[in-house]
Amino acid sequence: MLFRRGRTMLVLVAVFWLWLLLGSANFIAGLFDTPFYAMLALYGLGVVTLISLGVAGMAIFYMVVNKPARTELPAGSSARPGFSELAPVIRLVPRRVADHSAALTNKAAAKWRDLAS
């Protein structure tokens, strides 16, 4: 999950830089009617540009640290990597809780069999 967040932030920073390089000139040129707004826009873009460098660095760091593990599949296997028959939530249930719930299910089934007979 953190890898995907890092990748998303890196894509957003790249989109910002593309806009900065290709489209921000028209934006700033439109503000030159009032010098205050033009100065404010230039200052804001300068600050956001510097912040975007830090954000890009952190996004790359998150992607490197949280790199997803690759699992090797046996030959002829059609399953997707990381796919399991059990949902992740079921796998996280402690064994004693799972055993206890199975015991309750067996008790309930036995009770219904007794009532039905």
79 domain residue, yes or no: no
As a whole number of Å, the CA-based R_g of the chain is: 28
State pTM to two decimals: 0.52
Averaged confidence pLDDT in the chain: 75
**Contact assessment for residue 84 and residue 74, using Cβ atoms and an 8 Å cutoff:** no
77 domain residue, yes or no: no
109 domain residue, yes or no: yes
14 domain residue, yes or no: yes
**10 and 56 in one domain?**
yes
Segments forming the whole domain that contains residue 17:
2-65
Segment 66-92 shows an average pLDDT of: 60
Residues 44-74 have pLDDT tens digits of: 888 988 999 999 999 888 888 888 777 665 6
Total domains, the chain: 2
**Contact assessment for residue 38 and residue 32, using Cβ atoms and an 8 Å cutoff:** yes
Closest CA to 55 of 5, 2, 9: 9
Report whether pLDDT(97) > 60: no
The CB-side HSE value for 111 (13 A sphere, CA atoms) comes to 6
Please state, in angstroms and rounded to a whole number, the distance separating the CA atoms of residues 96 and 102.
10
